[in-house]
Structure 1
Amino acid sequence: MNLVAAADFLAPTVAWASLAPILIVLGAGVLGVLVEALAPVGARRAVGIGLACLATLAAAVVLVSRWLKVSSEPSSLGEYIEDPLTVVAQLILAVLGFLAVLVLADRTRVGDGAFAGQPSDTPGSTEEELTDAKAYQRSEVFPLALLSLGGMMLFPAADSYVMLFVALEVMSLPLYILAATARRRRQLSQEAALKYFVLGAFSSGFLLMGSALLYGFSGSLTISGLAGALVARSGMDMIGVAGVLMVLVGLLFKVGAAPFHAWTPDVYTGAPTPVTGFMAAAVKVAAFAAMLRFYQTCAAILQWDLVPVLVAVAALTMVVGTFAGVVQTDVKRMLAFSSIAHAGFVLIGVLSLVQGSTGHVLAYLLAYGLATVGAFGLVALVRRGDAEGAPGAEATALERWAGLGRTHPVIAGTMLLFLLSFAGIPLTGGFIGKFVVFSDGFAGGHGWLVALALACSAVTAFFYFRLVRLMFFAEPADGVVVVRSEGLSAVAVALCAAGTLALGVVPGPVLSVLSQVVILLP
């Protein structure tokens, strides 16, 4: 009997090549935790940075090689789908992750980074003073960033509600911790992390409840199984509609769409600025990629019931992000509301359902991600100076940026490039992203929504150019310094600027590749 049972046993087949990029990133994250626990104190930071950079670059190389196969032969590996959407979204995430790690790792010449020496120290306590006196610096931010990135890379490939939820939590939990680790204004940072955690748990509840309803509706835990059930049922089923809406609410929270946006300005302001850049750029790519798969596979079948609701969400998101951003006096809060407005613009591409719209949404997200990582990298370098000129906390108030174009023209000029991209000015990646997404929206029958988006784009340009006016046409502000860092942020910002220009000037090669992005439907 034992021999017969052994003969009948079939070893599972694991598609290691398909899973390699995620395994590299998550494996490096786990190894980084071991380095933090076991390596000598002096070597931890350097090893952590090296691991994070190598892992993201190695994952990007593997994904480029996978594209050659997947573009012609997409495949489903159970609950994991490897199709062009998965590979391109993961590649964008790996690139943005590499750039974000460079910004996370940067410190001033005196070792003053964005993160507390030991985030567990009570602000103002004796323990914190001792940590600062010994120049002790924990480096767990790098494995945390890698673990979060691994969850983001799982998000676009998930074909089941279980994997979708696990990926959501693996992505989110490290971000909750990272948001609480700011070196300065620690209590504000911890408050931001708590808000993010509480509201994130609320959104996870929506996702879980929606998944439960859809399982009861379809009898399947997979998104592809739900699609078959929706097609087989005739007429509107309220359980299916409610379940789809609740899952979409969980995803809309992550992209910061109104009315699920309330966490965005506070968390972006309180979190360490390099973490804000990583979160603003990468989370949007992961969540929108998952939304593209879920919407085109399932929700589009119910589009007659869902489109009015989602169009209202897109319109409200654009209006809230635009007009709330006009009254902001802080650079980080301004960029937070800008990100909300951009989420509304991207939703037009998700709803359009025309040929090539999936790739165009990813083009928009790539352009937005490059400009976002670069802009927040620059914000981290502009500091308030004391009477002796030593750098202090970040100078995020808009008036502090006055005259920066005269005192530091390279910093101001690069920030100008990123603001032009956010505004959608020609010869930048942002213009190409908006052009292709708005074109898809018009072709998909959402002309009035595109008209609203164009009007909102014009208004957002107002508050971008208000900062430009301050930088180049106002007298320099007193007590503001641009710190000299170790140079890692400069490398990241330069790469982001080059990518923003390249996407705007010669977008053809990237758009040609992205035009091949399709979603493997059941």
Structure 2
Amino acid sequence: MIDKLSWVAIYPEIVLLVMACIIALVDLSTTDARRTRTYVLTLLTLAVVAVLTGLAANEGKTAYGFGGMVVSDPMGNWLKCFATVALMVTLVYGRPYAADRDMLRGGEMFTIGMFALLGMFVMISGSNFLLIYLGLELLTLSSYALVALRRDNAVASEAAMKYFVLGAMASGFLLYGLSMLYGATGSLDVNEVFKIIASGKVNHQVLVFGLVFIVAGLAFKVGAAPFHMWVPDVYQGAPTAVTLLIGAAPELAAFAIIIRLLVEGLLPLAIDWQQMLALLAIASLLVGNLAAIAQTNLKRMLAYSTIAQMGFMLLGLVAGVVNGNTYNAQFAYSASMFYIVTYVLTTLASFGIILLLAREGFESEEITDLAGLNQRSPLYAGVMAIAMFSLAGLPPLVGFYAKLAVLQALIASGQALYIGLAVFAVITSLIGAFYYLRVVKVMYFDAPVTASTVSAPRDVRTVLSINGLLILVLGIVPGGLMTLCAKAIVATLAN
């Protein structure tokens, strides 16, 4: 008999699943080329789910359901809330783009997007290896379908095939690592695995062997070097609306499973996985920032930028356990959570501008396509400039505070190695500032390619303005969001 608490733990997932099925059926009778009814229903559903998860997170309670397989805690609920809002914003930005490219012949973009979000929810809520993996597969299979949504586009089909092949390999890595842990501990439950490893009765070499494959699989999911090879090709090849869909909200779910697996399940092995994450972070910062300088394609540049940003996020996870003590854990992990949330917020704005500038038959993917944007539309040039400055880490924008929080966590450890990592991160960020500032220079100082003004639907214009304003406001007063992340992480560590 399944108790009432189990259903309470997953009610946002139930609402999302039921409504996704209903919307898929409603869409069958929709003849409108822009899928207005499907679009409105999807946004209303996502708004309700965001409110439900936000209220659950605000209560600050942790509940387990289905025999401990599912956990509903503040960190998970806030990440679900942010992922839902990110998907809503993505659909607002992406709908005009998709309509111009005949991608709305069916409502697949909306319904598959909701199933992808359901996969993220399952990943975030999973407290069991099998459940986490099922959520991951639901998300990745939905992502493959979305990348190939433009069936008549050879570039998109090629990107989907690359994503599918490399994604299957990464899933295999993760599954093999989880199976090794199951073989060593005899349990699939994350909390039970933690207790068994902490007892010290399991062969350490077997655990580390499984850990290597788990970290490799997780590194692929966040796009960290040297497992980054899919990111530039998929970002460039996928329709821009889909690029934003797979590049924003899923990063929050990827962060969640890193916390669930490495922190909640494998914290006794922190000395091992922190070293692996440090190497991944160093490689990501180097590869991402240096390769981005050479790019002329804006989406490809932002893909390499993502690799570098994920390297910075991983640095926060590196400094959690120092000499066996976890006193720095809440600061380090909350800094990483703050970083990933603010990164997603900034990514939404930057890709929102690319989607806005794209017209029927014209993608606006090259950096030169932004030439003279300030003369054509000062508002949108301003939003893009704010996004670029934030990604570069310039004050007073939220990207600066996110980087500062991670650097403070590294320095607070008091370890020479981590302080060295902080210095390295600052140097690579200075290198990275070049390609972000180049975009701003093109918008403000280059002659415009076309004299036409930029027009946008009212919903896109409103959301984009709020998006840009949030990047600025959260940079000036970051305390609220930082406190929220800290409380969520403390509640998770206390379980």
Post-superposition shift, 1:492?
2.7
5 Å matches for 1:13-52? 13-37=4-28, 39-42=29-32, 45-52=35-42
Post-superposition shift, 1:167?
0.3
- 1:462 alignment partner, one of 426, 434, 452: 434
Partners of 1:383 and 1:148 in 2: CA distance: 25
Matched, 1:472 2:444: yes
CA-atom RMSD in angstroms: 2.1
Matched, 1:97 2:87: yes
SS of structure 1 residue aligned to 2:285: helix
5 Å matches for 1:101-500? 101-107=91-97, 112-116=99-103, 137-182=105-150, 186-233=153-200, 237-353=204-320, 354=328, 355-383=330-358, 391-444=360-413, 445=415, 446-478=418-450, 484-500=455-471
> Which residue identity does 1:68 align to in structure 2?
N
| Shift in alpha-carbon separation, 1:68–1:181, aligned structure 2, 3 A | closer
Partners of 1:115 and 1:510 in 2: CA distance: 39
Partners of 2:31 and 2:294 in 1: CA distance: 45
Partners of 1:462 and 1:295 in 2: CA distance: 34
Partners of 2:87 and 2:453 in 1: CA distance: 25
Match of 2:323 in 1: none
- 1:55 alignment partner, one of 35, 38, 45: 45
Would the aligned equivalents of 1:74 and 1:520 in 2 still touch at CA under 8 Å?
Answer: no
> Which residue identity does 1:375 align to in structure 2?
S
Post-superposition shift, 1:366?
1.7
Post-superposition shift, 1:95?
1.5
Partners of 1:441 and 1:174 in 2: CA distance: 36
SS of structure 2 residue aligned to 1:41: coil
| Shift in alpha-carbon separation, 1:334–1:234, aligned structure 2, 3 A | same
> Which residue identity does 1:279 align to in structure 2?
I
Runs (5+) with no aligned partner, structure 2: 321-327
Larger Rg: 1
Q: TM-score, normalised by structure 1?
A: 0.87
Aligned length: 480
Would the aligned equivalents of 2:215 and 2:273 in 1 still touch at CA under 8 Å?
Answer: no
Post-superposition shift, 1:248?
2.1
Would the aligned equivalents of 2:390 and 2:471 in 1 still touch at CA under 8 Å?
Answer: yes
Post-superposition shift, 1:295?
1.6
Partners of 2:333 and 2:444 in 1: CA distance: 38
Post-superposition shift, 1:192?
0.6
Higher helix share: 2
| Shift in alpha-carbon separation, 1:106–1:286, aligned structure 2, 3 A | same
> Which residue identity does 1:157 align to in structure 2?
S
| Shift in alpha-carbon separation, 1:250–1:477, aligned structure 2, 3 A | same
SS of structure 2 residue aligned to 1:159: coil
Post-superposition shift, 1:236?
5.7
Partners of 2:161 and 2:260 in 1: CA distance: 30
Partners of 1:383 and 1:65 in 2: CA distance: 37
Partners of 1:510 and 1:362 in 2: CA distance: 10
> Which residue identity does 1:52 align to in structure 2?
T
Partners of 2:486 and 2:204 in 1: CA distance: 35
Partners of 1:54 and 1:302 in 2: CA distance: 43
Offset from partner CA, 1:351-410 (integer Å, 9 cap, x none): 2212233332222122111111111111012247xxxxxx53212112222222222222
Partners of 1:450 and 1:254 in 2: CA distance: 24
Partners of 1:337 and 1:358 in 2: CA distance: 24
> Which residue identity does 2:405 align to in structure 1?
V
Runs (5+) with no aligned partner, structure 1: 1-9, 118-136, 385-390
| Shift in alpha-carbon separation, 1:187–1:284, aligned structure 2, 3 A | same
Post-superposition shift, 1:416?
0.2
Offset from partner CA, 1:445-468 (integer Å, 9 cap, x none): 311111111111111110011111
Mean alpha-carbon deviation: is it higher for 458-467 or for 225-234? 225-234
Partners of 1:371 and 1:114 in 2: CA distance: 25
Would the aligned equivalents of 1:318 and 1:453 in 2 still touch at CA under 8 Å?
Answer: yes
Offset from partner CA, 1:208-230 (integer Å, 9 cap, x none): 11111111000001121211121
Match of 2:73 in 1: 83
Offset from partner CA, 1:151-209 (integer Å, 9 cap, x none): 112212211111011100111111111111248x8110111111111111111111111
Partners of 1:272 and 1:415 in 2: CA distance: 20
